[in-house]
Amino acid sequence: MRVLIVRIGAMGDVLHALPAVAALRERHPDWFIGWAIEPKLSDLLQIAGDSDDLSQGVGPSAKALIDRWYRVPALAWRRRPLAWGTISDILSLRQVLRRERFDVCVDMQGALKSAVVGHMAGAGVFTGMAKPREWAARWLYNHRVDPTAAHVVEQGCELLSASFGEVLRPVRVPLPMDEEDERWAAGVVGHERFCLISPSAGWGAKVWPAERYGQLAAELGRAGIGTVVNAPVEGNAEAERVVETSEGFARAVPSSLGQLIALVRRAAVVIAGDTGPLHLAAALERPVVGIYGPTDPRRNGPYAKRADARVKVLRDPASLTSHRRAGDAEPGLLRIEVNQVVQAALEVMG
């Protein structure tokens, strides 16, 4: 069986798809599994071989999560949709996917762009959600699934289960470990006991104020715990604002995805909103505190399979679930106070 998974982005969503794909790999180690993904997120995948150039690949491997990955630089395409380079990339991707002769394709994203990529593969079975995030996507599927589970991780398992007529349960995903990234992280934090804060989020309504993260870092610092602030790029405004308001207890550390994985492995606790680094920490089974507003943690919360997982999610009862990409922080999110987050962090750290 040759299977294509389409989950192009973002980081948290890719991490939520991994336990279902890992369950499929565990059940069928001899199947060929490919994944269409944003290039910068491919570091999240355990790959049997590098197929970054779309022409190289390897056979099935029981040790790797997937056998080949396929470049879908959707963010770059969106910036230049009519450029010849974009059109050429899309035509090349279609050619490569068709050449792979997939039996089944599963769209785990539910967006029109992911459905178009999956459709290009030409698999005999193309599975997607009966009620995808973008309604137009459903018309490209020839097999639609209406999941009943609450959490998106378990919904992913239902989607794959229905695709192959079997029952899959989420399994733990061992994320890649790069020796160079591990050495870098060891040099940055040494043996320090630290909190990792990620103040950004996909849209403004999910963002707890940077000044409160700074106050949080100051309180933890007085308790003997330093703070590393995740900065996606050098000079990131939100990360710098956290540092400025932390009374000297926080520092911003720009990192690649591989370096972030290595940092999270070493963190005493990770504190963030509903964003990729929080879900990365949950996947690595680190203590986490999630600060939630417009997204429902029953569906999008940090997923912990172990019963003894150290996870705290803070969400005010006044918060209303909405995926509208509003620019201002959701009012319920602003009702969460610094002292609540400090207490939760100390509890999960033991």
C-alpha count within 13 angstroms, C-beta hemisphere, residue 76: 15
pLDDT, one tens digit per residue, over 18-42 is: 999 999 999 999 999 999 999 999 9
> For the chain, which residues make up each domain, given as ranges?
2-164, 179-349
Which secondary structure element, helix H or strand E, spans residue 227, and what is its range? strand 226-231
User: 263: helix, coil or strand?
Assistant: helix
C-alpha count within 13 angstroms, C-beta hemisphere, residue 88: 3
Arch. (CATH architecture) of 179-349: 3-Layer(aba) Sandwich (3.40)
Integer Cα distance of 343 and 339 in angstroms = 6
Instruction: Compute the average pLDDT of residues 265-276.
Output: 97
The yes-or-no verdict on residue 52 having pLDDT over 80 is no
On average, the pLDDT of the chain sits at 93
pLDDT band for 49, please (50, 70, 90 cuts): low
Q: In sequence order, what are the residues at sequence separation of 6 or more whose Cβ sits closer than 8 angstroms to the Cβ of residue 343?
A: none
Arch. (CATH architecture) of 2-164: 3-Layer(aba) Sandwich (3.40)
Same topology, domains 2-164 and 179-349? Answer is yes
pTM for the predicted model, two decimal places:
0.92
Integer Cα distance of 313 and 302 in angstroms = 8
Which secondary structure element, helix H or strand E, spans residue 14, and what is its range? helix 11-27
Length of the chain equals 350
The yes-or-no verdict on residue 59 having pLDDT over 90 is no
pLDDT, one tens digit per residue, over 143-187 is: 999 999 999 999 999 999 999 999 999 998 888 899 999 999 999
